[in-house]
Structures are given as structure tokens and as C-alpha cells.
């Protein structure tokens, strides 16, 4: 069993690390303080290929694996967690258009999404539908060659500043469940769309988050992704990868926090010795590194299973997301503690790392829902034995 990365994979890591150093790390605190959405930098990420990492090459993307995407997102997140998290969302939306959009839709939007000329948001969560996504109420009613969409979506990243909305809406009856959901690519400036206020969040401040309302929004049937009733299936496929993406952002945050903590312990003097000379603090650093390494292996293993079409990939993605996002928050919080009072002030990045990683335990499915997904699989015959 070979855990080493190929030369090409290490080159991808290095390219992402270089971009993080050049474009993200020195700007992250300012973007956070001003709640600034760095569109121009995101466009430069498109020039580097980071807006269509696993979109097929035939559609203009890099066509990389989910494992390779994880490597890239981890490195980018060492520069700015919040901005990298938006990049993961845009990647998911672009991938969905590339895989299930019709020829006309792809021709009109894919080149712009891949390059960053157009940015995308993903609209699944609703004010009354979070973890129970299959109960969504936004509806799309067929009217000739169009659909008319009505309803609202909540906590939409990038909303109000993006150009395309990938929207999950009910085309079946009120009780049609997951089988009655379809997916649509809706221009963000379509008549009948309204945006709420930019939510004042604890973290993730470099990307806007708004409620999106649809009041009789008319969109051509050519903007439907796949067939009617396939939307929830697409959403779940997207979320498997999305969970790995956000887990990878947590890995990058934890790596940055561990590096900062290591450096601080070496520089800070107390009682005539550097903090790094105290065994209790050495143990703390060792535990942080151990948890990070374990989470990184879980994420890469889950990505490998997803890349290879493993039937249990969804459960592995859920396990990796749960563990990596819990770990990411814990390691950042421990690094803040090691900085003492300095960790609590904005001059140091630790308080921002803690704020930005906290939401990872909630989005892409809460970590409680991750446990539900894993437990349901474990209760099926033979699954527990297959983990060995």
C-alpha cells in the first residue's frame, strides 16, 4: 500500500501553495475585517485552473480527481479559509453544469464559469429545510417551454455577487420527497429574484451569505440539469465531493494553526525558557499533529474511494467530513490557547482561524447528520465487516 503522492500531485500542491502565499495569506485579515468578496483574486484563481478542478477536460476544466482536488483545497485554505471555501462551492456548481447541463446551457455558461468571468452559487438550503433537504418547498412549475420558480433559499454563499444560481426545486407534488426534486441553472439577474441582506456571520466573512427569493422566476427548460426528478440525486453526488472539499479546507486551516503554534512556542519566552521547552506544551503540539495526520489520511482515503466508485464512498466521505471538521476546529482552538492572550486579538490570525473553521461542522450536512449517514450504513448486513 503506497501512500506517497506522485510528482504531478506534488506539483499541484506546490502550485496551490504558491497561489495561497501570493494572493491569499496577506489579504485574508483585511477581507475578513471589511467583509470583502475578492472577485478579482477569485478570477485569478480561474486563470490557474482552480475554478474547475474536477470539471472534465472536455468542458474546459482540469479534469482532476477528487483526491487531487483535496490536495489543492488544503493548500489554498492555508492562505484564506473563507475564500477557499467559496472556491469549493463554485467548483461544485461548475461540475454540475458540466455533467448534467444541456449543450446550449454549457456553451453559454461553462467557458465563463471555468475562467471566472462568471461565478456561481449553490442553492439547496431553505429557511425551513436544512438537514432534511428532501423536504424543500421551492417549486418549479412547467409552463410550455419554461419553468416558473417560486420559493426561497437560505444561507447561500456568494449570493448577490454571483452570476449563476444552481437551484434545487420541487417539480413533483408536495409529498413527492427526494424523487420530486429537479435542478436548474438560473441566471442570477433573472426577473423575480431578490436578495436579502448580507448576513453578519461569525466567520467566513470574505464571502457574502444571503437569502435568495424567487417570485415567479421564469427560466427556459433548457436550463434544467438532467431530467425531472433527478435533482436530489445530483445534489447528493455533489455533497459527497463537497464534504471532502470542506474537510480539506479544515485540513489546511489546522496545518496553518499547527505551524503558527510551533513557531510561537519556539519564540515565546517564559520563566527563562522558550515555551517549546515545556513538556506539557510539547505533548499538546504532538497531539495536534497526530489528529491532523489521522484526519488527512481519512480524507484522502475517502477521496480515493469516491474516485474509484466505491459503493460505500458516501459513508467514507461522511466519516472523513465529520472527523476532519471536528479536528480542524479543535486544532485551531488549541493553537489559540497556546498563544494565550495574543491568540485572542485580531493582530494574530488564530481567532480568525477558529471563527472560520467553526461553520465547517455545520455546512455540507451537520456532523450529527454525518453520524446518521454512517450509522445507517453500519446497520446494513456485512458493512461493519467490510471496514476491516
- Active site residue ranges: 364
Q: H helices of 308-344, where?
A: 313-338
Q: Which three cell numbers stand for residue 184?
A: 436548474
Quick one: three-class SS letters along 195-219? ECCCCCCCCCCCCCEEEEEEEEEEE
**Cell numbers 455577487: residue:** 161
CB 60 within 8 A of CB 111: yes
Closest CA relative to residue 299, chosen from 88, 70, 72: 70
Closest CA relative to residue 27, chosen from 352, 363, 354: 352
How far apart are the C-alpha atoms of 133 and 168, rounded to whole Å? 10
How far apart are the C-alpha atoms of 261 and 51, rounded to whole Å? 31
How far apart are the C-alpha atoms of 192 and 214, rounded to whole Å? 6
How far apart are the C-alpha atoms of 385 and 280, rounded to whole Å? 39
Q: Spell out the residues 6+ positions from residue 41 whose beta carbon is closer than 8 angstroms to its own.
A: 23, 24, 27, 83
Strand partners, 219: 147
Backbone angles phi, psi at 192, to 5 degrees: 100, -5
Amino acid at each position: 500500500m503506497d501512500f506517497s503522492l506522485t510528482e504531478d500531485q506534488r506539483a499541484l500542491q506546490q502550485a496551490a501553495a504558491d497561489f495561497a502565499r501570493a494572493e491569499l495569506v496577506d489579504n485574508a485579515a483585511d477581507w475578513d475585517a471589511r467583509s470583502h468578496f475578492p472577485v478579482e483574486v477569485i478570477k485569478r484563481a480561474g486563470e490557474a485552473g482552480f475554478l474547475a478542478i474536477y470539471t472534465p477536460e472536455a468542458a474546459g476544466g482540469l479534469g482532476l480527481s477528487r483526491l487531487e482536488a483535496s490536495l489543492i483545497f488544503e493548500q489554498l485554505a492555508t492562505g484564506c479559509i473563507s475564500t477557499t471555501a467559496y472556491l469549493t462551492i463554485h467548483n461544485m456548481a461548475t461540475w454540475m453544469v458540466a455533467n448534467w447541463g444541456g449543450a446550449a446551457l454549457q456553451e453559454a455558461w461553462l467557458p465563463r464559469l471555468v475562467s471566472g468571468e462568471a461565478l456561481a452559487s449553490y442553492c439547496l438550503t431553505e429557511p425551513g429545510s436544512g438537514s432534511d433537504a428532501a423536504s424543500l418547498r421551492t417549486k418549479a412549475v412547467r409552463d410550455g417551454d419554461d419553468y416558473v420558480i417560486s420559493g426561497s433559499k437560505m444561507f447561500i454563499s456568494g449570493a448577490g455577487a454571483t452570476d449563476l444560481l444552481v437551484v434545487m426545486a420541487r417539480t413533483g407534488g408536495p409529498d413527492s420527497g427526494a424523487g420530486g426534486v429537479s435542478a436548474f441553472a438560473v441566471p442570477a439577474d433573472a426577473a423575480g429574484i431578490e436578495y436579502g441582506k448580507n448576513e453578519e456571520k461569525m466567520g467566513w466573512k470574505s464571502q457574502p451569505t444571503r437569502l435568495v427569493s424567487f417570485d415567479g422566476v421564469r427560466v427556459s427548460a433548457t436550463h434544467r440539469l438532467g431530467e425531472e426528478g433527478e435533482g436530489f440525486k445530483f445534489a447528493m453526488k455533489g455533497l459527497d465531493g463537497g464534504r471532502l472539499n470542506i474537510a480539506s479546507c479544515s485540513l489546511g486551516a489546522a496545518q496553518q494553526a499547527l505551524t503558527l503554534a510551533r513557531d510561537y512556542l519556539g519564540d515565546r519566552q517564559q520563566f527563562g525558557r522558550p515555551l517549546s521547552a515545556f513538556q506539557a506544551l510539547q505533548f499538546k503540539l504532538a497531539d495536534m499533529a497526530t489528529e491532523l495526520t489521522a484526519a488527512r489520511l481519512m480524507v484522502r482515503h475517502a477521496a480515493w474511494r469516491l474516485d474509484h466508485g466505491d459503493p460505500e464512498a458516501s459513508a467514507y466521505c461522511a466519516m472523513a467530513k465529520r472527523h476532519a471538521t471536528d479536528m480542524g476546529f479543535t486544532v485551531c482552538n488549541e493553537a489559540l490557547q497556546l498563544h494565550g492572550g495574543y491568540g485572542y486579538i485580531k493582530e494574530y490570525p488564530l481567532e480568525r482561524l477558529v471563527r472560520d473553521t467553526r461553520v465547517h461542522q455545520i455546512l455540507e450536512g451537520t456532523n450529527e447528520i454525518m453520524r446518521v449517514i454512517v450509522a445507517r450504513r453500519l446497520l446494513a448486513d456485512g458493512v461493519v465487516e467490510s471496514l476491516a
